[in-house]
């Protein structure tokens, strides 16, 4: 999610095999003339749609200005502690799959039919989870579809060289999607499609086929800066520049440490990811509900009371989150994030009691590490202050 949501990691193997599937050949790829390649490109788009993707685009391997933008972003330290983003192969598709001449980028929508974003965010007693993470892990849905697409291409033309990716290896997937005409990079650094908004996943097939390429679309953000203005932690420090160290998606998903005090209240009830910058984007009025059954929200995670989730021990958490994007975090981060949300919740003796009991239990068991101690103490203090303000002043 990061997929810092999060368009929004596990590559298909370097030889084109999908987790033990049939390897795709490199040498011996069929030689096709221009007309045959054009027809094949149209077939690939059709096969992609038949496999549940909403759009398919094709680009070359030149990433334009994106590598320079990435380098500047890294030099500014906006990547927080995500040092893996420095991987040099990220800016060179051919380094990830030698012989790559084209990249087939595919889009799959994920927005639930009833997203209820406003409703949940405005109820501080409930947990908000980024809409992409409410169902099955998208890697498990998209990766096999990419393999099936590769198999279909091979059935048509014979063996060819390819490698498939789903938000896994060091791929600049948003840059590739932009080059392939799937959308433009918004000021919040998420790809926007003028007919579908931004609530979608991306997947790629790197291939040695010299397919005709699509034309990138122009930027349609104009003077709008709604995403910049709405960000709770002001993580979008300039148009097209996101400071990951302030981003709620990064803090609640990727980061494992102590969240700065000044960012805790702005996090609100968001326990995994954040959708605010997408929520206010005018182009998301065109976002379509996903038709993929795997992305249907699991009831236990679609805006449940915070205290319901607080009761889960680690075994329950592992059972409930099996096969979900929520496994990107660990159980300690889950408790940390819930602690912040309970501290931000409306004044509640039940919340304070639950926090106090968890603190005592962890301390007694010798399991109260620095991260949990800090956030539990903060949350308890927040609840005590709110409850004190509700109490009537003493009579004199």
Sign of CA dihedral 30, 36, 40, 43: negative
Cis peptide, bond prior to residue 383, ω within 30 of zero = no
Is 247 assigned a ligand-binding role in the annotation?
Answer: yes
Of 209, 243, 220, give the one whose Cα is nearest residue 100.
209
Among residues 227, 226, 231, the alpha carbon closest in space to that of 250 is found at 231
Report the chain (396 residues): mean pLDDT per 10 consecutive residues. 34 33 45 93 99 98 91 95 84 90 98 93 98 98 98 97 90 96 98 98 98 97 98 99 98 98 99 98 97 96 98 98 98 99 98 98 96 99 96 68
Question: Shortest CA distance to 2 belongs to which of 251, 314, 297?
Answer: 251
Q: Is 191 annotated as a binding residue?
A: yes
243 is in an annotated binding site: no
What's the whole-model pTM score?
0.90
Residue 42, number of CB atoms within 10 A of its CB: 12
- The reply, when asked if residue 227 is annotated as ligand binding, is yes
Burial of 102 by CB count in 10 Å (0-12 exposed, 13-18 middle, 19+ buried)?
buried
Q: Residue 33 annotated as binding?
A: no
- pLDDT at site 190: 98
Q: Is 323 left (phi over 0), alpha (psi -120 to 50) or beta?
A: left
Buried b or exposed e, range 155-186, using 16+ CB within 10 angstroms = eebebbbbbbbbbbbbbbbbbbbbbbbbbbbb
Residue 204 near residue 164, CB atoms below 8 Å: yes
What positions carry a catalytic annotation?
167
């Amino acid at each position: 999610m990061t997929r810092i949501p999060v368009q929004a990691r596990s590559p298909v193997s370097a030889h084109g095999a999908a987790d033990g599937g049939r390897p795709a050949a490199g040498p011996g790829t069929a030689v096709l003339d221009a007309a045959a390649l054009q027809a094949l490109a149209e077939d690939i788009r059709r096969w992609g749609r038949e496999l549940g993707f909403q759009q398919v685009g094709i680009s070359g391997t030149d990433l334009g200005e994106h590598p320079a933008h990435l380098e500047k972003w890294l030099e500014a330290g906006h990547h927080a502690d995500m040092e893996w983003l420095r991987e040099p192969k990220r800016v060179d598709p051919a380094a990830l799959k030698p012989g790559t001449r084209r990249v087939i980028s595919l889009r799959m929508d994920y927005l639930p039919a009833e997203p209820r974003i406003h409703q949940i965010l405005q109820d501080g007693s409930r947990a908000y989870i980024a809409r992409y993470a409410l169902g099955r892990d998208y890697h498990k849905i998209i990766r096999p579809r990419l393999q099936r697409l590769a198999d279909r291409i091979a059935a048509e033309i014979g063996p060819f060289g390819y490698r498939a990716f789903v938000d896994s290896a060091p791929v600049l997937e948003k840059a590739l999607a932009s080059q392939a005409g799937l959308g433009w990079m918004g000021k919040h650094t998420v790809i926007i499609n003028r007919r579908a908004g931004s609530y979608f996943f991306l997947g790629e097939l790197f291939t040695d086929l010299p397919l005709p390429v699509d034309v990138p679309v122009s930027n349609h953000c104009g003077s709008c800066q709604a995403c910049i203005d709405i960000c709770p932690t002001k993580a979008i420090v300039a148009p097209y520049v996101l400071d990951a160290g302030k981003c709620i998606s990064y803090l609640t998903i990727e980061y494992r440490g102590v969240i700065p005090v000044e960012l805790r209240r702005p996090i609100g009830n968001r326990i995994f990811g954040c959708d605010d910058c997408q929520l206010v984007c005018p182009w998301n009025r065109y976002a379509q509900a996903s038709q993929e059954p795997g992305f249907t929200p699991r009831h236990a995670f679609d805006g449940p009371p915070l205290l319901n989730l607080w009761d889960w021990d680690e075994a329950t958490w592992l059972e409930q989150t099996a096969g979900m994007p929520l496994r990107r975090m660990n159980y300690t981060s889950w408790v940390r994030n819930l602690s912040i949300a309970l501290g931000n919740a409306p004044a509640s003796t039940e919340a304070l009691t639950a926090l106090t009991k968890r603190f005592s239990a962890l301390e007694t068991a010798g399991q109260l590490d620095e991260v949990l101690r800090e956030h539990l103490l903060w949350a308890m203090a927040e609840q005590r202050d709110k409850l004190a303000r509700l109490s009537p002043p003493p009579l004199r």
